[in-house]
Amino acid sequence: MLTGGELDVLTGDYLAELTMLILGRDRLRDPGLGYAKTFLRQLEEGLGLAHERGVRIVANAGGLNPAGLADAVRELAAKTGVPVRVAHVEGDDVMPYAEGVLTANAYLGGAGIAACLRAGADVVVTGRVTDAALVSGPAAWWFDWSPGDHDRLAGAVVAGHVLECGTQATGGNYSFFTRHAAMARPGFPLAEIEADGSCTLTKHPGTGGAVTTGTVTAQLLYETQGARYLGPDVTARLDTVRLREEGPDRVRISGVRGEAPPPTLKTGVTRIGGWRNEVVFVLTGLDIEAKAELVRAQLAGVLEGVADVGWTLARTDHADASTEEAASAMLRLVVRDPSADRVGRALTSAAIELALGSYPGFHVTAPPGPAQPYGVFSSGQLPAATVPHVAVLPDGSRLAIPAPGPAAPPAAPLPPLPVPPDPGTRGAPAGQVATRRAPLGLVAGARSGDKGGDANVGVWAESADAWDWLRSTLTVDLFRELLPETRTLPVTRHDLPNLRALNFVVTGILGDGVASGHRFDPQAKALGEWLRARHLDVPVSLLPPLAPPSEVSRP
């Protein structure tokens, strides 16, 4: 990013729910740690170049110890002879409000970052701010926005949300990645932000990947919930976002409306939830189900009393396979318990001791190991006025950042959506639409992710006709039918017509969050791709002309 083209501010997002747990364990071992050490290694390579080019650096790598990281940056600057001014933002640590936890942090906004930059900081490190604050803070500094500039701040928050996961905005993890060349090394995205809060998403010339309305839409849907994107600086209305391609690798984001931020701040709490272990049995060839049942029966006794026992049989085997691996299925046993002894070597050794008296072809993917601690993430709310938000300026002075003013009157409800036309008719009478059984992913993209124990699945269409069909067809009931894991869980659908997108929020599918390792895909990263692979009746007019006519059916 520093060598590829023009840049004013370089941001770095180092924190996630799992990262906070890891940093908490680091801090237990050494109270002087608690920050992302990788940031220092990267800074050693790029600090001098950033200073030469006048690029400010803003990163949340301070984690649980932003003051400690700021001191480490100063030491690095002195060692390398780079005369930079360093500031940090603190106050997010709310451990005094919580007991018996590993970490507890409020999500601060970008106002503290803006204050540090106004005071002349070249490098600003923070603790737990929102991911988008790394962009909204610098934008507020650059254009001298006030806290009441809600529309402008909302535009910057949307830009920050698109940038926060780096190359996910330039084709990484993108449903239609096969359309784009140079995907082996996608370039990082950048935002050219304007005074009114609108921006253009692009990337440095000559870098890989692509910036399209599709890649930007995918990232806009990532780890969001309703149409109102709540944050400490502003509430951004995702239903007002408008995208327009302005040329190769240039997508303009405009029209974003903002509302007052809520009077509370989100808090994230991590704690050690207990101990876990797992064994993966390999089942090869014939009688896969019977082999799995035998293992379950043989271990039933030793598993008695364990708090949480999960068995998953993944039928990865193929009939008449040409390799042994392709002929094999995986039976995964995951156990959790407050006691390390109950799920430690005694249990895994019992599994291995079956080797000479269980199913034919018995073996496991890895030797048994000791129990490992797992974490639990939960979120809550604290009144913003009770959380100290402090900018520690380059000269060491401390500037208190005021909380938002009194809560604004309730915002107007979102307008009802118009009733969509009959899907995919293309002039055909109702009930006479030619359809074909096909994967949803032939006509829709998806992006999914985690928020604590919940997951979201954003689904979007590329054309107006596909959007009319998608929003008419993909109801909550059909979503649950296509993804059976969600059938017993609360599922909420949010419509975003400007993006031709639906956003489904699935409550509780990830249990206690990613650190608990509750499910096979603990961060729900592939939940959207599973949905795209499911088959349903799709209007032929929306499908690529690949299947033979014999597959076309008419109701």
| The three-state (H, E, C) secondary structure of 185-245, written as one string | CECCEEEEECCCCCEEEEECCCCECCCCHHHHHHHHCCCCCCCEECCCCCEEEHHHCEEEE
Q: How sure is the predictor about 409, in pLDDT bands with cuts at 50, 70 and 90? A: low
- Is 528 found in the same domain as 450? yes
- Is 281 found in the same domain as 171? no
Residue 417 has pLDDT above 60, yes or no: no
pLDDT at 443: 97
- Is 201 found in the same domain as 278? no
Model pTM?
Answer: 0.90
Q: Of 231, 259, 287, which residue constitutes the final position of a domain?
A: 259
d(CA 53, CA 184): 28
- Is 444 found in the same domain as 534? yes
Question: Helix (H, G, I), strand (E, B), or coil: what is residue 140?
Answer: helix
Residue 549 has pLDDT above 80, yes or no: no
Which token pair is 371? 């129990």
pLDDT at 427: 46
Q: How sure is the predictor about 547, in pLDDT bands with cuts at 50, 70 and 90? A: very low
Q: How sure is the predictor about 7, in pLDDT bands with cuts at 50, 70 and 90? A: very high
- Is 284 found in the same domain as 245? no
- Asked if the structure places residue 68 within a domain, the reply is no
- Asked if the structure places residue 302 within a domain, the reply is yes
Q: At what angle do helices 213-220 and 150-163 cross, to 10 degrees?
A: 100
- Asked if the structure places residue 514 within a domain, the reply is yes
- Asked if the structure places residue 153 within a domain, the reply is yes
- Asked if the structure places residue 426 within a domain, the reply is no
**Would you give the distance in Å from CA 239 to the centre of its chain?**
20
Residue 546 has pLDDT above 90, yes or no: no
Residue 553 has pLDDT above 50, yes or no: no
Are the beta carbons of 43 and 541 closer than 8 angstroms? Answer: no
d(CA 426, CA 539): 10
Instruction: Please give the tally of structural domains in the chain.
Output: 3
- Is 245 found in the same domain as 207? yes
- Is 508 found in the same domain as 482? yes
Are the beta carbons of 552 and 478 closer than 8 angstroms? Answer: no
**Would you give the distance in Å from CA 198 to the centre of its chain?**
23
Q: Which residue has the tokens 């600057």?
A: 77
Residue 197 has pLDDT above 60, yes or no: yes
Domain membership of residue 347 as a residue range: 272-376
d(CA 296, CA 454): 29
Residue 483 has pLDDT above 60, yes or no: yes
Residue 262 has pLDDT above 50, yes or no: yes
Residue 18 has pLDDT above 60, yes or no: yes
Distant-in-sequence contacts of 33-37, Cβ < 8 A, 24+ apart: 33/65, 33/68, 34/63, 34/64, 34/65, 34/68, 35/61, 35/62, 35/63, 35/64, 35/65, 35/66, 35/68, 35/69, 35/72, 35/125, 36/61, 36/62, 36/63, 36/69
Comparing 18-27, 84-93, 138-147, 303-312, the range with the smallest average pLDDT is 18-27
What is the chain's mean pLDDT, rounded?
92
- Is 319 found in the same domain as 242? no
Contacts of 199 (CB under 8 A, 6+ apart): 155, 156, 159, 191, 192, 193, 252, 253
**For residue 302, what is the enclosing H or E element?**
helix 288-303
pLDDT at 423: 47
- Asked if the structure places residue 94 within a domain, the reply is no
pLDDT at 407: 54
- Asked if the structure places residue 473 within a domain, the reply is yes
Stretch 41-70: mean pLDDT: 96
Tell me how far CA of residue 449 lies from CA of 24, 25, 104, 129, 221, in angstroms.
23, 24, 22, 19, 9
- pLDDT tens digits, 149-159: 999 999 999 99
Which residues are bridge partners to 549 per DSSP? Answer: none
Q: Within 10 Å of residue 90's Cβ, how many Cβ atoms?
A: 21
pLDDT at 511: 84
Q: Give CA angle at 31 (30, 34), nearest 5°.
A: 90
Q: Going by DSSP bridges, is the β-strand pair 86-90/123-126 parallel, antiparallel, or unpaired?
A: parallel
Of the two residues 97 and 345, the one the predictor is more confident about is 345
CATH of the domain at 330: 3.30.70.380
- Is 549 found in the same domain as 440? yes
Q: How sure is the predictor about 554, in pLDDT bands with cuts at 50, 70 and 90? A: very low
Q: Is the dihedral of CA 438, 444, 448, 454 positive or negative?
A: negative
Stretch 386-395: mean pLDDT: 97
